[in-house]
Structure 1
Amino acid sequence: MSTLAQVRALSNVRSTLGIRMTDRPGWRQLSELLGLGPWPPIDLEMDFDQYVLACVLSRALEEIDAGEATATEATGLSQVELRDILNCSFPAPTIHAFRLVDVSDTEPGLEEELLRGLLLAHARAGDLASVRFAKIIARRALRHGHLWRELGLFDRVELNRLLATHFPTLAAGNTDNMRWKKYLYRKLCEAEGFSLCTAPACQECKDLESCFAPEEGESVPLGVD
């Protein structure tokens, strides 16, 4: 199945689950760029990485159209990386929506560099996709919302799968089902030899819910992040 068909099929799957992807401006615009017409039959073997990229790009389109960020600022990727992804995975008209001719590469700040370094230290060896997702996740983690939302994903289960696939040793350490953004920053603190948390144990912390409470709008089976 082609990437175009995969993205369309995923949209169809999400509709059957009661998630209206067309309610999101970025996804609606992306699906229009991918072409009109009926969705093809669902293929359960569709490529998950391509789906995640489509979700991230849909969030980027929302920020671009709102004047909040350029394509490189929204994704953490360089112009060359974005062009390569769009050329390889999406129809030609999609490239124009991201206005790559008008953008320049952005240098990550210290916080983003630390997050990127943490992810890269646990990335799959020799996997270009893992390197690119490290950059994307580090940039999107700087946004204020839940990380899975800022990546354009539809629940924490998808974020869990993304991290377990591309950063397996890092993901495996989150045994207590901590919120992923909290977990990433805790790992950064541990690497630097200090902690922002003063509680002797999570169970004794008055802010326990900020790290472990269910996130609004999520769809998470019991025991799964």
Structure 2
Amino acid sequence: MFAHHYVCLSAGQWPPIDVETGFDQHVLACVLSRALEEVEAGEATATEATGLSRAELRDVLTRCFPVAPVKAFAIDELADPEPDMEEQLLRDLLLAYARPGNKTSARLAKIIARRAMRNDHLWQDLGLFDRAELSRLLATHFPLLAAGNTKNMKWKKYFYRKLCEAEGFSLCTTPSCRECTDFESCFGTEEGESRLARIRNGMELP
């Protein structure tokens, strides 16, 4: 499994992620690990967990992870995901800012929009190790969108603020963030334990 592969590596043995393509593969491995957790728990299918179509998911697995346990995702039995209105709006926002002609950016837009519907911090929903990895991901594949978050707002809050601005209304009625009584909701820290760390801490390693 993706998760087992990751947690069985010591800190000095992580796959190199300095090169952009290597980092993209790391992100996709994290997302697929989360998807596989949900599949095995009966919470979602692989397409429901990732927001990708069957064809897109198969292509990601065969191109990026040729030795991955493809059968575990039961792709042949799946239906393509159908985003609801909220997810579609977020997907459209991300696609509008995605790197032109970049297939990975377009697929990450779908993945991020789907995972943003979950309840944790977005970096946790994606299975990443921390918020810094999410910020790097967004700066790489959605540079103009990421650059607009100059106040370090929580990413989910920032996305919804951008959606509201596009519709011509404000997310809240407070005249400025400094006067808001719910400041931490938008700008508080996004700390916590990554899901892979939770697995590692609960796993008896060989």
State the TM-score, normalizing by the size of structure 1: 0.79
For residue 70 of structure 1, what is the aligned residue in structure 2? Answer: 45
Structure 1 regions of 5+ residues with no counterpart? Answer: 1-24, 220-225
Structure with higher RCO (Cα < 8 A, 6+ apart): 2
Choose the corresponding residue for 2:3, options 3, 8, 27: 27
Secondary structure of the corresponding residue to residue 191 of structure 2: coil
| 1:82-121 superposed matches below 5 A | 82-121=57-96
Structure 2 regions of 5+ residues with no counterpart? Answer: 195-206
For residues 80 and 32 of structure 2, what CA distance do their matches in structure 1 show? 16
Secondary structure of the corresponding residue to residue 86 of structure 1: helix
Give yes or no for contact 2:2–2:29 (8 Å, CA) kept in 1. Answer: no
For residues 14 and 159 of structure 2, what CA distance do their matches in structure 1 show? 38
Choose the corresponding residue for 1:210, options 168, 177, 185: 185
For residue 149 of structure 2, what is the aligned residue in structure 1? Answer: 174
Is 1:58 the equivalent of 2:33? Answer: yes
Secondary structure of the corresponding residue to residue 58 of structure 1: helix
**Which amino acid in 1 is paired with 2:130?**
D
Secondary structure of the corresponding residue to residue 88 of structure 2: helix
For residue 128 of structure 1, what is the aligned residue in structure 2? Answer: 103
**1:195 CA drift (Å):** 1.6
Is 1:183 the equivalent of 2:173? Answer: no
**1:40 CA drift (Å):** 6.3
> How many equivalent residue pairs?
190
Q: What is the Cα-based RMSD across aligned positions, in Å? A: 2.3
Distance 1:106 1:31, change over 3 A: same
Choose the corresponding residue for 2:176, options 191, 195, 201: 201
Cα deviation per residue 1:124-163 (whole Å; 9 max; x = unaligned)? 1110000000000000001111100000001110000000
Identity of aligned residues (%): 65
**1:94 CA drift (Å):** 1.7
Secondary structure of the corresponding residue to residue 69 of structure 2: helix
Q: Which consecutive aligned stretches of 4+ in structure 1 deviate over 3 angstroms post-superposition? A: 39-46
Choose the corresponding residue for 1:138, options 95, 98, 113: 113
Cα deviation per residue 1:80-107 (whole Å; 9 max; x = unaligned)? 0000010111134521111112211011
**1:61 CA drift (Å):** 0.7
For residue 12 of structure 1, what is the aligned residue in structure 2? Answer: none
**1:27 CA drift (Å):** 1.1
**1:31 CA drift (Å):** 4.9
**Which amino acid in 2 is paired with 1:100?**
I
